[in-house]
Structure 1
Amino acid sequence: MRTFQHFLSYYKPYRKIFYLDLFCALMISVIDILFPLILDYLSNDFFLRGAKIIQAALPWIALGLLVIYTIRSLCRYYVSAQGHIMGAYMESDMREDLFDQFQRLSFTYYDKHNTGIMMSRVTNDLFDICEFAHHGPENLFISLIKIIGSFAIMFYLNGILSIALLLVTVLMLLFSYSQNTKMKRIFMDNRKKIGEINASLQDSLEGARVVKSFANEPLEKDKFAHSNARYLKSKQDNYEMMGFYYGGTNLFQGLLYVTIVVVGGFLIAKGKLSPFDLATFALYVNVFVAPLEVLVEFTEMFQKGFSGFKRFEEVMDEDPDVKNEPNAKTLENTNGHITFKDVSFAYEEDKCVLDHVNIDIPSGTKLALVGPSGGGKTTLCSLIPRFYDVTHGEVEIDGVNVKAYTLESLRKQIGVVQQDVYLFNGTIKENIAYGKEGASMEEIVQAAKNANIHDFICSLPLGYETPVQEKGVRLSGGQKQRISIARIFLKDPKILILDEATSALDNESERVIQKALDELSKGRTCITIAHRLSTIKNADTIVVIDDEGIQESGTHEELLAKNGIYAKYDRLQFEGL
């Protein structure tokens, strides 16, 4: 019931269209129901009154029927056009809600779910929901009106024959209900399998360069073939069930005609039914059978739409584990003083990544984090903008728990430069402007100059309007990194996190980008994660951290003097020992 109510809520903005759609559906149904009755009256009564009366009345009868079917045609247009448009609006609303929910969900959700499957929920699932949103209520309404109306008139013509038809119809409905649960399970499985195909396809296409570099096209083909085969098996089960369902309902529809012939013939022999009334019954069975077929199709449509909406709800019901606290305040004009107080963090309950970490980073200072991969350096930095929340302890900015600030205002004060740069589909100007909404061209150019990328951009034929291909594949690593740094210059955050920003670059690119980063870090609280120790020698404090926690802390000279872990790293990099 909750799911049903949630689904109905999407009709509210379009109530007028929906009610008019149902009214038009009602008019279509009434006209279809009345025609056999009109024909029965003309055949049994009016057409027996004489040639002159018939000839005089025929033009008026033709005009009346023409008006009726013109009204029916206009109603059919509205149902087909505006009804579909209403469904498209509802689909658009659901897609926006789903996208907004994806934006609200934290990193934890993305760590656990495949992007291809999430994309399938936005596209495939919502399309079937749209079809059901439009056709479902309309088809159900038309079918019920026609079935109830047809039965009412048939009972008026002959109760015995109508009861016989009703018994066959009840058996048909029981058969349909028994197949409903099985179809629901199969359609849900279809949804999962098409999501797996999308995931496999996305994985292969995004990793195309890696695939080709290892000549692993046959491996990817096998992986996709496996997902495709699983989906094919699910579709086979689906169509076998549908075939049995359609075949069964078609048999019951045939039994309706058999009942008319057998029971109708018996009643005519007994003098309780006229041949004209039997012909009218046959017409009404046609009116009656058509909506039964629609109801059969409605069952399939309902199962597809309902299974899609259930998957839609699964996402909408996800409660972000990182969200604004009640009465959260806006962080403005921060000094950038960061404190980790007895901080512990675990991605899973039994796997602690950080254990009782205490670090104080005064405003405007430069802190460097070094240590082996997997030691928790990136995780530690991710706790500051609340990409994840601490399991224990507190992260403070200017002496206030970061949870006391709104997520938006907190993250606006923090700039992150990562090793893996993501550039959006669009122009270079748009990618730089991503750092500040409504930035002027002068600000964008100045940010590019600060990042040492302006001259390169100007050398391109289209300059700042140069389109960035998907993920910036036609730009070098250094060029992409400088564009990302320009974004941060434009954002102008007080706190800067550099997550191995130069580790994947050649020496020349590293030198240029390090110069840009040095410029960027002036006057800001800066945390640098680095494997190349040459980039952090001038840090105010260097912290050595591994999977057992903080091992050393001090300046470059102090740590060398200790002759500990940091000194060992230094010898490995600079002395080759």
Structure 2
Amino acid sequence: MSSHRSSRETSKGNRHLKRFYYPLDQAVEKPFNWKQMLRLLNFIKPYSKTLVPGAIVAMFITTMVRLLVPILIGKVVIDVAIANKDITLLTQLVLVIGFLYLLSYLGNMFRIKWINILGQKIIHDLRWNLFSHVQRLSHNFFDKRSAGSILVRILNDVNSLQELFTNGIINLLMDTVMLLGIIVILFVLSPQLAIAVLVILPIMFYISTKLRRNIRRSWQEVRIQKSRLNSHLNESMQGIRITQSFAQEKENTEFFDGVNSDNFEAERIATKKSAYFGPFVEMSNAIGTVILISYGAHLIISDQIEIGTFVSFAFFLGMFWEPISRLGQIYNQLLVAMASSERIFEFLDEQPNVEEKEDALEYADMKGDIEFDHVKFSYDEDRIALHEISLKMTQGQTVALVGHTGSGKSTIANLISRFYDPTEGSVKIDGYDLKDMKLDSLRKNISVVLQDTFIFSGTIMENIRFGRPEATDEEVKDAAKVVGAEEFISRLSGGYETEVEERGNILSAGERQLLSFARALLANPRILILDEATASIDTETEVKIQKALKRLLKGRTAIMIAHRLSTIREADNIIVLEHGKILEQGNHQQLMEAKGEYFDLVKSQFQMLDAL
């Protein structure tokens, strides 16, 4: 791809990002947060008495062997055994060094084994914690974020920590011990030669420190671009039918090319900046080697050090730059981990807008009396959804909510399930404020059937059983029979064991809706919310559903939201809403006689049908 084309399409991608992506994913300039890193390391605690000690012991054995061997070779093999031509001592030293290398090999083998197991366990725990926490967050959290950006944090950001936990942490400890050990040994062997060789260190430290902030911000940008790329991919796959319906494949591909180019550019810049450190270390190594040869030769000639000391110095100098180079790589891992951990902890620190009290009520015997007491609700400051709504729904009553789009129907249903809390006022069930109830206790007594019902990957049996996992196969089949789903299930090749694809794509909209009715019935709720639940069902199927609903609704408080007014004629109470206010309420006969808003809605629907 030419630079001109890349720049042009990247610009196009950025224009689309303004429209599609959330301002929450932004690179921020912060100092390296050691407190946050310590918090990340807390995930090691469960294994601090098992895997960690073994890996540390193995690491120390390997490190001590590597520090001991150059001393033996220089100070004993060369300066003693070879200098005195002592073959016996030389043979013994060869056997000792061979044994030490074998010990180092075993230590390395167990270190790698244990640290990899440790890393996998930590990643498993971290991903589980993040996923379980996100599942408990309020709807407000998901309103502000795309599904793709959430997936990136649970998958990509957690994966990016794997290298840190499987290699980075133990290598950091090993290389730090190695580096300090080498410095101490060098000064013991020859202080003047050590100072000469290590004079480059302060310069190297200064330059590498200057790179840190820049590199860290680049890795932050990489994580953001990956999030945006994943968001677009997720959205594109889910909306592929709409894209093809409007023949927008070319436009969508160009948009993807722009986002993909942004991701490529971010990766390229971050990798390039991170790659500076390796050559810089090699250059420092070369300078140190030149100093060692020139100044070391001078010290040997002037009898200030022995040849064995020089040889040991050469060994240790070669070893010295190796941990420094790895420490640079580890620091890059820390930068990547910090960028990812910031995004992970942002989610873990997110608190539900709907909070559960510590002494919340476990309410097992719910009846289903619902009361809205002067309830106000706003999704944001500029959009008020409900204006001081007061209403009552008694046990076993079927209440229908009607009104134009945006009138507040679904908001009332969301407040009953406590997906949101009222801005003012209170919502009560059986006289108890929902804020005083345990969320699980509340929601296990409520079933919601939506217009766009969600079918999970798995079998028909598993999907119906979703709301009540302990139900028997017979109970599942009975629920399917009641709502009229068994007829189409029996036609499937595998019956109840038929595997449905993602989102139930092998089923028609009406079949998916029937499964959702069966799922709701099996859960045996005290309160049933039907949000446009029959909108996707043909007239013939709707007749079957209406019959099934009589059994489904029996003894339960039901809230029906419907635009198709023919489905709510039998409701005990019909509440007409407009702009978050109650205009009128009563049964079908009463509202028709009043000739108000409901009368006009019914009349307009019949006129539309007549026109068809």
Q: What SS does structure 2 have at the residue aligned with 1:496?
A: strand
Q: Give the partner amino acid of 1:25.
A: M
Q: Which moved more, 1:567-576 or 1:360-369?
A: 567-576
1:207–1:195 Cα change, 3 Å: same
Given that residues 37 and 338 in structure 2 are in contact (C-alpha distance below 8 angstroms), is that contact kept between their aligned partners in structure 1? no
Question: Which residue among 234, 242, 263 is the counterpart of 2:266?
Answer: 234
- Equivalent residue for 2:107? 75
Q: Give the partner amino acid of 1:117.
A: S
1:559 maps to 2:591: yes
Deviations 1:401-427 (A, max 9, x none): 111110001001111110011011111
- Equivalent residue for 1:299? 331
Question: Which residue among 54, 62, 66 is the counterpart of 1:32?
Answer: 66
Question: Which residue among 193, 199, 220 is the counterpart of 2:225?
Answer: 193
Given that residues 532 and 563 in structure 2 are in contact (C-alpha distance below 8 angstroms), is that contact kept between their aligned partners in structure 1? yes
Q: What SS does structure 1 have at the residue aligned with 2:40?
A: helix
Name the count of aligned residue pairs: 574
**Shift of residue 148 of structure 1?**
1.6
1:58–1:248 Cα change, 3 Å: closer
1:537 maps to 2:587: no
**Shift of residue 219 of structure 1?**
1.8
Given that residues 281 and 321 in structure 2 are in contact (C-alpha distance below 8 angstroms), is that contact kept between their aligned partners in structure 1? no
Q: How does 1:402-551 map to 2 (within 5 A)?
A: 402-551=434-583
Deviations 1:51-84 (A, max 9, x none): xx40x44554343223212211111111211101
Structure 2 gap ranges (5+): 1-33
**Shift of residue 551 of structure 1?**
1.0
Deviations 1:458-502 (A, max 9, x none): 222211111011100010111111111111111000111100001
1: CA distance, partners of 2:181 / 2:363: 66
Deviations 1:102-139 (A, max 9, x none): 11101000000111111111111112212212322211
1: CA distance, partners of 2:175 / 2:203: 18
1:47 maps to 2:79: no
When normalised by structure 1's length, the TM-score is: 0.96
1:5 maps to 2:38: yes
Q: What SS does structure 1 have at the residue aligned with 2:379?
A: strand
Q: How does 1:226-265 map to 2 (within 5 A)?
A: 226-265=258-297
**Shift of residue 548 of structure 1?**
4.8
Deviations 1:434-465 (A, max 9, x none): 12121111111111111211132222221111
Q: How does 1:560-575 map to 2 (within 5 A)?
A: 560-575=592-607
- Equivalent residue for 2:22? none
2: CA distance, partners of 1:19 / 1:49: 43
Q: Which moved more, 1:269-278 or 1:239-248?
A: 269-278
Question: Which residue among 422, 431, 444 is the counterpart of 1:390?
Answer: 422
- Equivalent residue for 2:244? 212
Question: Which residue among 173, 183, 186 is the counterpart of 1:154?
Answer: 186
Deviations 1:523-577 (A, max 9, x none): 1111100001100011111111011511111111111122221111111111338
Given that residues 419 and 502 in structure 1 are in contact (C-alpha distance below 8 angstroms), is that contact kept between their aligned partners in structure 2? yes
Q: What SS does structure 2 have at the residue aligned with 1:330?
A: coil
Q: Which moved more, 1:150-159 or 1:93-102?
A: 150-159
Q: Give the partner amino acid of 1:3.
A: Q
Given that residues 478 and 513 in structure 1 are in contact (C-alpha distance below 8 angstroms), is that contact kept between their aligned partners in structure 2? no
2: CA distance, partners of 1:78 / 1:306: 28
Q: What SS does structure 2 have at the residue aligned with 1:452?
A: coil
1: CA distance, partners of 2:180 / 2:70: 15
2: CA distance, partners of 1:547 / 1:356: 12
2: CA distance, partners of 1:449 / 1:417: 18
**Shift of residue 269 of structure 1?**
4.6
2: CA distance, partners of 1:280 / 1:409: 71
- Equivalent residue for 1:376? 408
2: CA distance, partners of 1:58 / 1:260: 27
Given that residues 513 and 536 in structure 2 are in contact (C-alpha distance below 8 angstroms), is that contact kept between their aligned partners in structure 1? no
Structure 1 gap ranges (5+): none
2: CA distance, partners of 1:359 / 1:13: 51
Given that residues 502 and 514 in structure 1 are in contact (C-alpha distance below 8 angstroms), is that contact kept between their aligned partners in structure 2? no
Given that residues 368 and 526 in structure 2 are in contact (C-alpha distance below 8 angstroms), is that contact kept between their aligned partners in structure 1? yes
2: CA distance, partners of 1:85 / 1:248: 33
Q: What SS does structure 2 have at the residue aligned with 1:45?
A: helix
1: CA distance, partners of 2:122 / 2:201: 34
When normalised by structure 2's length, the TM-score is: 0.91
Amino-acid identity (%): 33
Q: Give the partner amino acid of 1:295.
A: L
Q: What SS does structure 1 have at the residue aligned with 2:373?
A: strand
Q: What SS does structure 1 have at the residue aligned with 2:405?
A: coil
1:496–1:350 Cα change, 3 Å: same
Given that residues 193 and 296 in structure 2 are in contact (C-alpha distance below 8 angstroms), is that contact kept between their aligned partners in structure 1? yes
Question: Which residue among 289, 302, 319 is the counterpart of 1:287?
Answer: 319
Given that residues 79 and 306 in structure 2 are in contact (C-alpha distance below 8 angstroms), is that contact kept between their aligned partners in structure 1? no
Given that residues 176 and 249 in structure 1 are in contact (C-alpha distance below 8 angstroms), is that contact kept between their aligned partners in structure 2? no
Given that residues 77 and 90 in structure 2 are in contact (C-alpha distance below 8 angstroms), is that contact kept between their aligned partners in structure 1? no
Q: Give the partner amino acid of 2:47.
A: Y
